[in-house]
Amino acid sequence: MQKIDAHQHFWVFDPVRDGWIDDTMPEIRRDFLPEDLGPILQNNSFDGCVVVQSDQSEAENIFQLKNAGKNSIVKGLVGWVDLCSPKVEERLEYYRQFKLMKGFRHILQSEADASFMLQKSFMNGISKLQKFGFAYDILIFPKQLENAKKLIENFPDQPFVIDHIAKPDIKNKTIDDWKKNIIAVSELENVSCKVSGMVTEANWKNWKTADFTPYLDVVFEAFGAKRVLFGSDWPVCNVAGGYEKMLSVVQHYTSTLAKNEQELFWGGNAVRFYDL
């Protein structure tokens, strides 16, 4: 069974384009490329990774496809297209030629309108993905979970995955509304969940492993062994301690799972979901 990091990023840092990387994040205000990640994956016995877009442009797709073409650690790519465009099907047809392009993502968490994902043009774009064999990554905050459920319900045959367990407020130990809504989403069988991005929702400089247990309990019980994927969210995880420190949280939690469940979580589910 392959061991896959199902969520990480590469970028050549641009302070204007990457304005979300502000002065509170000095650890990631620089370039991060495959040659930086390769040794980290090797040292932690990973066979490869799935690169996820961080800029909403088709230039991002070109950049990441070039990275993937030159680096065998990249097993798949989640890119970006304008799902609201009347020409979305034409763009999806174009990207089908790239075998490493496995899906797409829009940065829904940054949309001022919480119901953006339910507008007719966006849903039209989502409706075209299955025809071309593409998955869809849902990047949202907890307040958007109810709308995400409505979106997913409209496309029961489309594979979806929730990124970063929908970013609950781990720092302040807020759990009740997130728990109720993530469980409701999990009842839809065509959606999986990435156990990723958690350390950046905690107290960056002062979190402890036990802080994550209540959230992990919810996710693993709700989605079950066949619908949870590991993702590092590297290099963003560097703001809260780095790859190995983040990894230790998830290793500790999953150490009690059955061997086949561990294999699914650490790679099998990513291979299936993204058709790696």
| 29-48: average pLDDT | 96
- Provide the CATH number for the domain formed by 4-274 in this structure: 3.20.20.140
Sketch the domain layout of the chain as residue ranges: 4-274
**For the chain, what percent of residues have pLDDT higher than 90?**
98
Neighbouring CB atoms inside 10 A of 55's CB total 17
Look over the chain and give the mean of its residue pLDDT values, rounded to a whole number. Answer: 97
Of 12-16, 235-239, 250-254, the range with the lowest mean pLDDT is 12-16
pLDDT over 90 (residue 1):
no
57-78 confidence digits (pLDDT tens): 999 999 999 999 999 999 999 9
| 248-264: average pLDDT | 97
pTM of the entire structure? 0.97
Cα-Cα-Cα-Cα dihedral of 172, 177, 183, 185, to 10°? -110
Split at pLDDT 50, 70, 90, the class of 89 is very high
pLDDT over 90 (residue 228):
yes
CB-neighbour burial class of residue 146 (10 A; exposed 0-12, middle 13-18, buried 19+): middle
